[in-house]
Amino acid sequence: MGFESIIASRFIRSNPYKNTISAPIIKISILSIVMGFVMMLISISSGVGMQKTIQNKISSFFGHITISNFQNNSSQSSLKPISINQDFYVNKTNQEISHIQSVAYKSGLIITESNFEGVMFKGVGSDFNYDIFLPYLIKGKIPLYNSQVSNEVIISQHLSERLLLGINDKFKATFFKNDSFSIPNERVFEVSGIYNSGLIEFDKMYFIGDIKHVQRMNKWNEEQVGGFEVFIKEFNNIKKVSDDLYVNSSSELDVQTISEKFIDIFNWIALFDMNVLLIIVIMILVGGVNMITALLVTILEKTQIIGVLKVIGATNKSIRSIFLTNGLYLISIGLLLGNFIGIGLILFQKYTGFLKLDPQTYYVSEVPLDFNILSIIILNFSVLFFCSIMLIIPSFIITRISPTDSLKIK
């Protein structure tokens, strides 16, 4: 162990700050590191958690990528059919794609004895991704759509409460034709399941049923659909997969990612990154300034010790290393306590959902927190690095301390 390490360890093991001027300042500095790190940890966790949760919810409804006619993109209803015999659907050669399902949409109106609601019917077939939608099912079951036409549908909890519909209840839906002078189509459906996605904008409108109803109302054959919804393995690869599908699909088809389809929502959640970055910068600055104050007070308080060390031959660099090591020790204490408190709060919220949010504003009913070990490790090293850098400049005050002045006996 070197000379600097020995002296620094003596400072650390002893109780040098008890009943001294620097004691409360050092405690406040450590507390600022703790509070700042907890805020940074929760900010990153909540920001990433919110982004992932909203991304997953929207992709559960519409897939990560949608493929349809340009004409269908200009309207909510599926107007022009697409052949299901597409190469990307039949062969599924792209390894980044986990699932592709065919869909078709039809706008309509649900009328009951007590109320009515404008709705959008989403038709799905035997290739419907049941597993990804299952977490949002709160009552009943998801019906199987095979060769026979099924009248069973899944409605949202919002529509269930608005229309007073429960499991196994039947209702009539009216669907409009492109020709406004034609008599609308009517269908009687039975509620098989009730879902709650937390995305109130979609829950107000969409209910899910057999795609064959849309095919028959639009006079399509069984090999004609409104479009495709593509699910991928990694969200970060969405642009790459989208470009590949666009190149390898017909020029009549439009390929859109969900971030392009719902640009307002994704622009909103993208702001979280800037907010989190701003919080991190501010907290590091606050913690660093407090540690600088603690270091300066400690140096001034130990002026005589610095003078003695210089008299016995210690260089300015060695003495600076001693106080920097001491500063790193105090920062480490703050990080240790910050990790303990921050991770504890994250796990508490993750498993209890104690903090609630308004789903109409935030698309989620409780604060979602993402627990990522790698992010926590990177944050720890980043805070330690930048706070250490900030301590280097004020440590140069040691070079201005004269041994003769510091050792004068008054």
| Residue owning tokens 């790698």 | 374
Pairwise CA distance, residues 307 & 298, whole Å: 14
Question: 39 versus 74: which is more confidently predicted?
Answer: 39
Three-state SS sequence of the chain: CCHHHHHHHHHHHCCCCCCCCHHHHHHHHHHHHHHHHHHHHHHHHHHHHHHHHHHHHHHHHHCCEEEEEHHHHCCCCCCCCEECCCHHHHCCCCCCEEEEEEEEEEEEEEECCCCEEEEEEEEECCCCCHHHHHHHEEEECCCCCCCCCCCEEEEEHHHHHHHCCCCCCEEEEEECCCCCCCCCEEEEEEEEEEECCCCHHHHCCEEEEEHHHHHHHCCCCCCEECEEEEEECCHHHHHHHHHHHHHCCCCCEEEEEHHHHCHHHHHHHHHHHHHHHHHHHHHHHHHHHHHHHHHHHHHHHCHHHHHHHHHCCCCHHHHHHHHHHHHHHHHHHHHHHHHHHHHHHHHHHHHHCCCECCHHHHCCCECCCCCCHHHHHHHHHHHHHHHHHHHHCHHHHHHHCCHHHHCCCC
What pLDDT is stored for residue 74 in this prediction? Answer: 46
| pLDDT given at position 174 | 92
Residue 339 confidence (pLDDT): 94
Per-residue confidence band for 361, with pLDDT thresholds at 50, 70 and 90: confident
Average pLDDT over residues 43-62: 89
Report yes or no: 133 and 103 within 8 Å, Cβ to Cβ: no
Rg over alpha carbons for the chain, rounded to the nearest Å, is 32
Q: What is the mean pLDDT of residues 176-188?
A: 78
The dihedral over CA atoms of 358, 361, 362, 363, expressed in degrees to the nearest 10, equals 90
Please write the tens of the pLDDT for every residue from 96-109: 999 999 999 998 99
Please state, in angstroms and as integers, the Cα–Cα distance from residue 134 to each residue in 158, 190, 228, 369, following that order: 17, 19, 20, 21
Lowest mean pLDDT among 112-126, 229-243, 286-300: 286-300
How high is the pLDDT of residue 15?
54
pLDDT-wise least confident of 198-207, 341-350, 397-406: 397-406
Q: CB–CB of 25/296 below 8 Å?
A: no
